[in-house]
Structure 1
Amino acid sequence: MKLELRGITKTFGAFVANDAIDLVVEPGEIHSLLGENGAGKSTLMNVLYGLYRPDGGEIVLDDVPVSFSDPGDAMAAGIGMVHQHFMLVPVFTVAENVVLGHEPTKGGLLDLAAARKLVREISARFGFELDPDALVENLPVGAQQRVEIIKALSRRAEVLVLDEPTAVLTPHETDELMTIMRQLRDEGTSIVFITHKLREVKAVSDRITVIRRGRVVGEADPSADQAELASLMVGRQVSLAQDKAPAAPGDIALEVSDLQVTDEAGMRTLDGVSFEVHHGEVLAIAGVQGNGQTELSEALLGLQETVHGSALLEGRELVGRSTKQILDAGIGFVPEDRTHDALVADFSVAENLVLDQHDRAPFGSALAMSRRAVQQNADTLIPEFDVRTGSSAAAVSTLSGGNQQKVVMARALNRELALLIASQPTRGVDVGSIEFLHRRILDERDKGTPVIIVSTELDEVTQLADRIAVMYRGQILGIVPGDEDRDVLGLMMAGYTAEAAREAVASGARTTDSQLADEGEIV
């Protein structure tokens, strides 16, 4: 199916989200829509999918103009969409989610056998290996994304829109998704790939269209270098690597000793972790997601229930204290999942910027918030962090994922910090904003603040870290310098000790995990 968008315009009040956008997607191609956060990419696709009605322009499928009043019309016409934030019912099974809205029936009742058969057929076709009876809430993020793809394919989608599909995926899951995309393309499905990750665009695209501030500013070939694509996205030259001054570490600020976390099933997810963080240094926690990094950061914030061991911040014990007490001690925290753990969707942007300080001066007290102080804070931080929003009073849920992440980072950095802990600090953020946020993290280090970052992105780790602690199966395998060889880091993430990894690299060995880590770079 050939898709054409002709002069699509969409406004929200005085804000022009899409300004006369033209786009052509040929049958059986992967067409990447590249742009920074808030550029209008998702809005354009929401128009295509019938979630928004355009204020101007038309949608043309195989040379026939069409109009959609809702997503049902779009799906009936062969348009499928996988949203950045999945549209799944967690307590339903895979099969129930796939057929939701177009349920097969038998004798007036839901035909679950037919639903299971549908899931198995599509899974077998693409090697998804999904159990139709598995509860969605028990699936990892990558598997949930496959459920969304099966949903679209079960409705015979000929044009599939993937909106920031790798924002929450591990490097391994990203690699698998790209294999799936190529297979879909080879079978004739047209794919619109919305992203801001330059490396992924170059790896999988047939054509690239760049949008900036609601307008198409150019097309590019996948062979274009990353610096060229970045400048086209942002409208200026972008440094893809930070000019980082050598660290000047001071005294020990945080001392973690034999930290252990046990989950509800009695399994030890953090097993005897010990390390130190000095004033004026960045310690990066690296590893394939699911090896204890989440439990470590949450244990330090008082978010895990069963914790043993010690974590001394300036000699004061954190283990056993409440999350509020820990935050009030001057810890800035960026959770890895902004949607569930960092933001209140229905609260305004201004309110989300003071969530952890709303009852403290100057923003308020135990009795009331100062609306004036909250507004002044928003008026300062929104332009400083380039948060793209029509109003500070807008619900934070109306922002793009990258702009939501800027709100979380702005809140964490907008205070005097005794310690900064940032998990996936630039997840879903475009290359220009990554440059800015990395600079702010390094500025915090240079002020003498101890910093812990947790990241699955090797570029981020190597650009920011003064030292790198590699985690594997709930333990720290070793702590190495920030300039450690990338292949050594990759092997350590696969379970090698630092010494064994260095010996293996010296002899020319690499592992699939190391190669996957390379694929997971930020840009």
Structure 2
Amino acid sequence: MSAEASRAPAIRMRGVVKTFGGVVANRDASLEVHQGEIHALVGENGAGKSTLMRVLAGLYAPDGGTVEVHGREVTGWKTTEAIAAGVGMVHQHFMLVPTLTVAENVVLGSEPTKGMTIDLHRAVLEVESLCKRCGLHVDPRARIADLTVGEAQRVEILKALYRGAKVLILDEPTAVLSPPEVQELWTVLRALRADGGTVVLITHKLDEVIAVSDNITVMRAGATVSQLATQGTTPRDIARAMVGRDVNLHLDAMGAVRHGTAHGAAATTAGAAPALRVHGLRVMSDRGTVAVNDLSLEIHPGEIVGIAGVEGNGQTELLEAIAGLRTWQSGRIQLGTHDCHGLSVRDRADYGLSHIPEDRHRRGLVLDYSIADNLILGRQHHFATRTGLDRSRIAANAAEQIQRFDIRPPIAHVPARALSGGNQQKIVIAREMGREFTVLLAAQPTRGVDVGAIEFIHEQLRAARNAGKGILLVSADLPEVLALSDRIAVMYGGRFVTILPAADCSAELLGPYMTGAAA
């Protein structure tokens, strides 16, 4: 490498343009990141962050502009070339083979061999060693299909590190990680930086930007609009640069985004019949273990009950059982006056149950369907005629929901696959909250969305609560649970170890319950 190349930034992208049909994803986008730096790339949903990074990783060829890595012109290079040069990208949506094990996914394409065959034993040992070094704990022998969302995210990170990534691009890596796992990831990233590695971190969590990054690039509407040094910058400064206006945030002492306080604002009517009642519920996991163990809960009209806890303690199985997506061994679920035993998902929806699933790709969307068609999924029978679907009503519904929930691009016929993760999430939220319901199951409702959208979604949840809806909120973001809930149930080992008024709760109080120390 020449002396000039050694002084060049690790990444230099100038004037990048990328379009998909009539949708402009990047227009005059630029980025400069130096070696040994953790650089945050932020912006609203649909600002073009992920597209720009996919250009860097060789997944997309730009329509204009230049890309350099360590002083070398690489505009339009292929993914294989990027990987060989030490550029690795951890995608927001998993690129894993569900039927293979963790170890098989991590080494896929770079498998260790023994003679003419793949050495799976060695692969397991190598992945175990990598897990220990990185603090990203997952069973190398487990099948991807049997993992929690959080465990699958760790596998994606391990894949990039296994291939020796020196420029590591992370697209919303902490969206499914618990607070201790986030801190472990920061340890990994700081170690990589200390070793001369370079990290580009895409995140909507402004406290993370402040905690771990050295510099910040802000994108808006596909273009780079601001470059900031993290030191001396506040979350409010970043939010203003992202959205172009002041965002109504409340920031706690740790910098975590808090969006107002729900405590004491609930419209719960004393003595009112529960909107949702769960009694003695026992649910099995996909692995055949007990995920929910003799659990009981009541949610009243005009109340948000938040579930706090490290992911993998039965939250997913609980909500899937209530939603009708998973059978249960024993116990009872009652929606208003209706016993849910034997009721289909459609029946429960018709009786007033809405469900925002934690995994929008697996449970919430058909990616190749249009925005308009995704906005009626599960409700097609309400838009049917004797001869088929009423396309004029579907278009009118799409126009209304796209405007109300600010889905971008606002083009009803665009497939959901073409949207950013945050705008895909808006489709799910618009469908589930844009109709009449009495009970809402909200699993990770703001996962992967920007600060402006978080503000809006929180306003929608509070408005629904104040209108007398019952809401069961599950979120890995403890500040979100604290900010929105009227009561908080801490789930550990498939049980509620405590249920407290939110006004009495704090992160310090709930932490020991979440880890089982106070169970």
TM-score scaled by length of structure 1: 0.88
Residue 488 of structure 1 is aligned with which of 509, 512, 516? Answer: 509
Do 2:153 and 2:176's aligned partners in 1 also have CA atoms closer than 8 Å? no
Letter in 2 for 1:242: G
Alignment of 1:128-277 (within 5 A): 128=136, 132-223=140-231, 224-240=233-249, 241-242=259-260, 244=262, 246-250=265-269, 251-252=272-273, 253-263=275-285, 267-277=289-299
Alignment match, 1:43: 51
1:30 matches 2:50? no
Residue 8 of structure 1 is aligned with which of 16, 29, 37? Answer: 16
Residue 390 of structure 1: CA displacement? Answer: 6.0
Residue 135 of structure 1: CA displacement? Answer: 3.3
Aligned pairs, number: 496
Identity among equivalent positions (%) equals 48
Residue 271 of structure 1: CA displacement? Answer: 2.2
Residue 381 of structure 1: CA displacement? Answer: 0.8
Whole-Å separation in 1 of the counterparts to 2:96 and 2:240:
36
Spell out, residue by residue over 1:422-459, the C-alpha distance to the aligned partner (whole angstroms, 9 max, x if none). 11111111111010011011111111112221222222
Residue 142 of structure 1: CA displacement? Answer: 4.3
Comparing 112-121 and 29-38, the one that deviates more? 112-121
Residue 115 of structure 1: CA displacement? Answer: 4.3
Q: Name the SS for the 1:39 alignment partner.
A: coil
- Compared CA separation, residues 195 and 485, structure 1 to 2 (3 A): same
Alignment match, 1:84: 92
Alignment match, 1:470: 490
Do 1:396 and 1:404's aligned partners in 2 also have CA atoms closer than 8 Å? yes
TM-score scaled by length of structure 2: 0.89
Alignment match, 1:100: 108
Residue 67 of structure 1: CA displacement? Answer: 2.8
Letter in 2 for 1:325: D
Alignment match, 1:506: none
Residue 118 of structure 1: CA displacement? Answer: 4.7
Whole-Å separation in 2 of the counterparts to 1:120 and 1:405:
34
- Compared CA separation, residues 55 and 68, structure 1 to 2 (3 A): closer
Residue 376 of structure 2 is aligned with which of 330, 354, 371? Answer: 354
Residue 230 of structure 1: CA displacement? Answer: 1.0
Whole-Å separation in 2 of the counterparts to 1:283 and 1:393:
36
Do 2:175 and 2:448's aligned partners in 1 also have CA atoms closer than 8 Å? yes
Whole-Å separation in 1 of the counterparts to 2:161 and 2:447:
28
Do 1:359 and 1:366's aligned partners in 2 also have CA atoms closer than 8 Å? no
- Compared CA separation, residues 473 and 215, structure 1 to 2 (3 A): same
Spell out, residue by residue over 1:193-246, the C-alpha distance to the aligned partner (whole angstroms, 9 max, x if none). 111110111111011111111111112232311111111111111112236572
1:305 matches 2:305? no
Whole-Å separation in 2 of the counterparts to 1:312 and 1:198:
39
Q: Name the SS for the 1:422 alignment partner.
A: strand
- Compared CA separation, residues 264 and 104, structure 1 to 2 (3 A): closer
Whole-Å separation in 2 of the counterparts to 1:113 and 1:279:
54
Gaps of 5+ in 1: 501-523
Whole-Å separation in 1 of the counterparts to 2:144 and 2:318:
25
Do 1:302 and 1:319's aligned partners in 2 also have CA atoms closer than 8 Å? no
Whole-Å separation in 1 of the counterparts to 2:286 and 2:122:
35
Residue 121 of structure 1: CA displacement? Answer: 5.4
Q: Name the SS for the 1:483 alignment partner.
A: helix
- Compared CA separation, residues 114 and 11, structure 1 to 2 (3 A): same
Spell out, residue by residue over 1:45-65, the C-alpha distance to the aligned partner (whole angstroms, 9 max, x if none). 111111111111111123232
Q: Name the SS for the 2:380 alignment partner.
A: coil
Residue 266 of structure 1: CA displacement? Answer: 5.7
1:294 matches 2:316? yes
Whole-Å separation in 2 of the counterparts to 1:295 and 1:284:
16
Do 1:59 and 1:65's aligned partners in 2 also have CA atoms closer than 8 Å? yes
1:320 matches 2:328? no
Residue 445 of structure 1 is aligned with which of 452, 465, 470? Answer: 465
- Compared CA separation, residues 279 and 120, structure 1 to 2 (3 A): closer
Residue 132 of structure 1: CA displacement? Answer: 4.8
Letter in 2 for 1:383: Q
Do 2:266 and 2:302's aligned partners in 1 also have CA atoms closer than 8 Å? yes
- Compared CA separation, residues 150 and 291, structure 1 to 2 (3 A): closer
Residue 492 of structure 1: CA displacement? Answer: 2.6
Whole-Å separation in 1 of the counterparts to 2:316 and 2:196:
39
Residue 151 of structure 1: CA displacement? Answer: 2.9
Q: Name the SS for the 1:96 alignment partner.
A: helix
Residue 105 of structure 1: CA displacement? Answer: 4.9
- Compared CA separation, residues 131 and 474, structure 1 to 2 (3 A): closer
Whole-Å separation in 1 of the counterparts to 2:124 and 2:496:
42
Comparing 115-124 and 457-466, the one that deviates more? 115-124
Do 2:284 and 2:317's aligned partners in 1 also have CA atoms closer than 8 Å? no
Do 2:102 and 2:155's aligned partners in 1 also have CA atoms closer than 8 Å? yes
Alignment match, 1:520: none
Comparing 57-66 and 333-342, the one that deviates more? 57-66
Do 2:403 and 2:410's aligned partners in 1 also have CA atoms closer than 8 Å? no
- Compared CA separation, residues 318 and 207, structure 1 to 2 (3 A): same
Whole-Å separation in 2 of the counterparts to 1:47 and 1:173:
29
- Compared CA separation, residues 346 and 180, structure 1 to 2 (3 A): same
- Compared CA separation, residues 322 and 3, structure 1 to 2 (3 A): same
Whole-Å separation in 2 of the counterparts to 1:444 and 1:379:
21
Q: Which runs of 4+ in 1 moved over 6 A?
A: none
1:371 matches 2:391? yes
Do 1:263 and 1:306's aligned partners in 2 also have CA atoms closer than 8 Å? no
1:422 matches 2:442? yes
